[in-house]
Amino acid sequence: MKKMKVLSISVMCLLLVLLAACSSSSKDDGSTASKDDTKQTETATPTEPAKEETVTDEPEPVVADPIDLGGRTITLSAWWDLAPKDDSASGKALIEQQAAVEKKYNVKINYLNVPYGDYQKQYTAGVIAGTPMADISIVETKDALNGALAGQLYKLSEFTTSDSDINNEHKLMSKMKPIAGEEYMFNTPSNVGWGIMYNRAIFKELGLPDLQQLYNNGEWNWDKFLEVAKLGTKDTNNDGKLDRWGYAGWSSELGRHLASANGAKIANDTTGKEGLTDPNTIAALELINKMWNVDKVVKVKSGKKTEWTERDTYKDGDSAMWAGAEWMMGDTTLDFGIVPFPLGPNGTKDATFSENTGNGYVIPKGVKDPGIVYQIFEELYNIPALEEYPSQNYLEGKYKTQEDIDMVVNHIAGTGMTQLDEAYANYPYYTVMEDILNNNVSVTAAVEKHKQEAQAAMDALGKQ
């Protein structure tokens, strides 16, 4: 009996040991600790407070290290000096931003200024050789077409991202119009463009209807344009000679603008087809013929109807209207206003003037890391806005009334149509104009006569 009692005690002790072992095992298998265990953990090292962990479903943000380009020089080229100057608030801000960008990426920004007469030759030679003279270059739109067709330029989609400003708010950089159906060119945002400018003094003298009022009333079209030009062509002193003209300007220039305002491309770089025989182009050229040859409402100072220097004839102060842009008006004392070119029967407000002399930035093939080069370039312009809208100071220095500025900003800027007939060697647009205006050939006969020549010129460039 005594032995049984001792055995029972021994069995109970063994059971207690097994229970303790099981309890210890349950703590080590990852299950939640008891309150006593937690308390013991918190007081185990009294000199080091326990760290409280916060559980969250959001991953911690990954902060990318700045890209170090090892002192690389990023070159920007133009036929003028692109370097910011410290003579204005914006210039000083750009200089400070450049220093910050250079430090951030460990680069040096270099500005290459090549005289216009040598620029195109130097640019073209470098691009053809695959060693561009600059990482980012200013080129004229007509010259960019050559590079685009030859596969020598990066498309915007190849060096921008979904985060690039140019693909979002356009505060730093804007896309230019496509060439050959693709986007290659970019530039800083601006509010400029071409329109019909008019001499307010002559309009008041002759009692002509205000063009901005006509535009705002929806009455500004080709018929009204020709009507006003007729009303503005007068012999005011009754000496038998005209001393006021409804219009002055370069005929070929106005022809491009009117074609654009009627939805026509004189040479269609997107389709690769000549546009001289497009009915919308023909309609524009018919209006040109009426103005110069039929109704004779145009002052021709040089005696030649196709002379390009007629662009400046408006400066004589005796013509009611002309085709103009802000940059042309720097030395004039005339009180002038502006409206968009009148739309033709098939025109839309998306395209009101011709852009055949514009320029912008491109990145040629052969440039290393075009994506980071563009990112750096875009960041150079990331400064606080100092204007209420792009080009504010420039426009306020060119126009005398807010109505004129509003007309440019709200109705003209951004409505240019790229016209690239000059990019095709021997394209016969000027020859067609000569036939119509100087040789009295009908519009339809002139375009039919030269359509094959026009298509051959486009085909030749496309095969290069």
- How long is the chain? 464
Of 417, 423, 433, 419, residue with least CA distance to 457: 423
- Crossing angle (nearest 10°) for helices 116-129 and 141-149: 10
List residues bridging with 364 in a β-sheet: 153
**E strands of 28-113, at which residues?**
72-78, 107-113
Do residues 352 and 363 both lie within one domain? no
Residues 275-319 have pLDDT tens digits of 999 999 999 999 999 999 999 999 999 999 999 999 999 999 999
Do residues 100 and 112 both lie within one domain? yes
Q: Which of 42-56, 127-141, 402-416 has the lowest mean pLDDT?
A: 42-56
Do residues 187 and 204 both lie within one domain? no
pLDDT band at 10 (very low <50, low <70, confident <90, very high): very low
| Model pLDDT, residue 358 | 86
Do residues 149 and 242 both lie within one domain? no
Do residues 450 and 321 both lie within one domain? yes
CATH assignment at residue 159: 3.40.190.10
Indicate the pTM of the whole model.
0.83
CA within 13 Å, CB half, 206? 26
Residue 443 belongs to domain spanning:
194-357+401-462
CA atoms 138, 330, 302, 267: torsion sign: positive
Do residues 234 and 140 both lie within one domain? no
* 173 three-state secondary structure: coil
Domain boundary among 314, 348, 380: 380
Structure-token match 């000059």, residue found: 422
* 443 three-state secondary structure: helix
| Model pLDDT, residue 22 | 36
- Which phi and psi angles does 336 have, rounded to 5°? -125, 155
Do residues 305 and 180 both lie within one domain? no
Do residues 221 and 298 both lie within one domain? yes
Do residues 257 and 172 both lie within one domain? no
Confirm whether 38 is domain-assigned. no
Do residues 290 and 338 both lie within one domain? yes
Q: Give yes or no for residue 9 having a pLDDT over 50.
A: no
As for how many domains the chain has, the answer is: 2
Rounded Cα distance, 373 and 203, in Å? 51
Do residues 290 and 408 both lie within one domain? yes
Q: How far is CA 157 from CA 189, 250, 371, 375, 415, in A?
A: 19, 38, 10, 13, 23
Do residues 163 and 262 both lie within one domain? no
Residues 52-89 have pLDDT tens digits of 333 334 333 333 566 899 999 999 999 999 999 999 99
DSSP structure class, residue 402:
H
